[in-house]
Structure 1
C-alpha cells in the first residue's frame, strides 16, 4: 500500500523549478539504522542518557578523557550501522534531480556517516562528523579542513589502556589536544569552516522545495533554513512518524522516511 502523503511530495518534486531541492535530515532518519536519536521517544535516545552539559566545550576542558569516551562509544555505534532505505532513496533522488537538470543538496544535522556511505554527494554536515578529530589550537595548519584528521588515523592505544587527561591524543602537527570534530552546545556554526554554514544559507536561498526528515526542529540550522527558504516562497514539508511541523508554512507528512522515500522514488522514476 502506498504510504500516505507521497502524492503531494511527488507533485512538489516534479514541479520544483531548476534552482534546487534541499533536504534537511535529523536523527530520525538514522533511527532505522540502529542509531538512537537525541530528543526522540526511542528507548536509547541520547538526550535521556547523556546530560546536556557533557556535549560542550566547557565539559571537554574539564574532563577531556570522559568527553572522548562518550564520543568514541558513539563512533563505534555509528560505524557498525548501515544506511537504511531512506538514505539510499535520497541517493536516487539526487541522481533523478541531476537527470532533470535540477539542483539537489542535503544538509544533515547528523554526525554519523550514513549519507556518505549510501552514496550522497551534495552533502553538508552542519554539526560535524564522528569520523573526524580536530586540533584544539585555532591556528593549527593540520587539515584541510583546518585542524582536522580522520579519526581512524589517530592513535588511541595509550588512551584505551589508561583513559586520563594525560593520555588524550595530541595533534601530530602542533602537539595540542585533539577533540571530536563536533559542534557542541556551547559553540556556534561559525566556530569552524568545516560546518559550512554559509553554504547552508546559500542552499536555503536557492531552494524552491525543502524537505525536513526526522528532525525535532530544536536546532538553529533548521530554523535558519525554514526562515530563509520560507521568505523566498519555497514549499516545505516535514516527514516524521511522530512530530508535527512547528510552523504553518511546513506541511506535515506523518510517515517513516524509510518507507515513504523509496515509494517517492518509485513513483518519480516510473513517471519519468
Structure 2
C-alpha cells in the first residue's frame, strides 16, 4: 500500500492523538477455520442447520428458547476451543510489543483468539463466551461460565444437572451469555462503548481488519477517528458497509487483500 509509510510518518510526528488502533472482525479469524459472518461463506448468509442466525441471535429468541441457545453456545465454544490463533493474531502481538502504550486492539470477535495469541489489552465490544450474567439483570455482576459443562457437538443437548449450573447465584433465574445480540444496544459496562470512542478520538490511524461494518459501534469508531483528524485503513477482501459509509472521505483508505498481507507490509513500514 503506497500511502502506508506516509500515513505512519504523519502519525508518528504527532505529540498527541497518535495512537495506532486496530479494529478486528470475523475475517481475521477465518484463517483459523472459524466462519465469517457476512462474507460469501458467512454463517449469517448460509444460516445454521436449524435457523437463520439473524433471528436466532436475539434476546427475544433466548427468552423463549434458553436451553436451545445455551446448547448452541457450548457448541460454538467447542468450535473456538478447537481453533488456533493464526499468523495475523501473532503479528498483532508483535506490533503491540513494538508500540506499547500507543497500541490499542478493539475486537468484535468473541472467540478469545487474540488473548490466546498473547494480546495483553483487548476491548471486546461484542462480549465473549467466557462469561455469563443474569438474564434479568438483577446485578451488574458477570460470572465465569461453568467449567464443569463440557463443550458440545451441534446435536448434543445439555443435561439437567448442567442446566442447573446456568442460573444466577443471586436471584436464581436464568443466566445468559455475556454477548451482544442483534436486538440489544451497546453500553459501557459490558461492551466498552465510551472507552472505545475515547480511544478512537485519540487515534492517528485506525486499521480495520476483517470487519464488514454491519453494526453501529464500529461505524461510530471510524466516524470518531476521522472527525478528530485520524486516518482509517479498511483491510478487507471486498468492499463493505465502511466503504459505502466513508469511501468519499479523504482520510479513508482501502487495502484489498488478507489481514496477514497487510500486517506484513505494516510491520515493514513501521
TM-score bracket, normalised by the shorter chain, equals 0.7 to 0.9
Two-structure CA RMSD over aligned residues (Å): 2.4
**1:215 alignment partner in structure 2:** 211
Cα distance change, pair 79–11 in 1 and its aligned pair in 2 (3 A):
farther
Give the corresponding residue for 2:112: 113
Counterpart-to-counterpart distance in 2, 1:152 and 1:83: 23
Q: Where does the alignment leave 5 or more consecutive residues of structure 1 unmatched?
A: 141-145
Does residue 234 of structure 2 align to residue 238 of structure 1? yes
Is the alpha carbon distance of 1:163 and 1:38 closer, same or farther for their aligned partners in structure 2, counting shifts above 3 Å?
A: farther
Matches within 5 A, 1:245-264: 245-246=243-244, 247=246, 248-249=248-249, 250-264=252-266
The answer as to whether partners of 2:92 and 2:119 remain within 8 angstroms in 1 is yes
Distance in 2, matches of 1:119 and 1:129, equals: 16
TM-score for the superposition, normalised by structure 1? 0.84
**Paired position in structure 1 for 2:46:** 48
Structure 1 contact 36–46 (Cα < 8 Å) conserved: no
**Structure 2: unaligned runs, 5 residues or longer:** 152-156
Specify whether residues 163 and 69 from structure 1 end up closer, same or farther in structure 2 by C-alpha distance, changes over 3 A only: farther
Q: Please give the alpha-carbon distance, in whole angstroms, between the structure 2 residues aligned to 1:73 and 1:15.
A: 46
TM-superposition CA deviations, 1:206-241 (whole Å, max 9, x none): 111111111111111111111111111111100112
Shift in alpha-carbon separation, 1:15–1:262, aligned structure 2, 3 A: same
Cα distance change on mapping 1:163 and 1:155 into 2, 3 Å: closer
Mapped contact 1:65–1:168 kept (Cα < 8 A): no
Aligned residues: 252
Identify the residue that residue 136 of structure 1 maps to in structure 2.
135
CA shift for structure 1 position 163? 9.8
Identify the residue that residue 143 of structure 1 maps to in structure 2: none
Q: Is the 8 A contact 2:138 2:171 kept in 1?
A: no
1:32–1:258 Cα contact (<8 Å) kept: no
Q: C-alpha separation between the residues in 1 aligned to 2:93 and 2:112?
A: 14
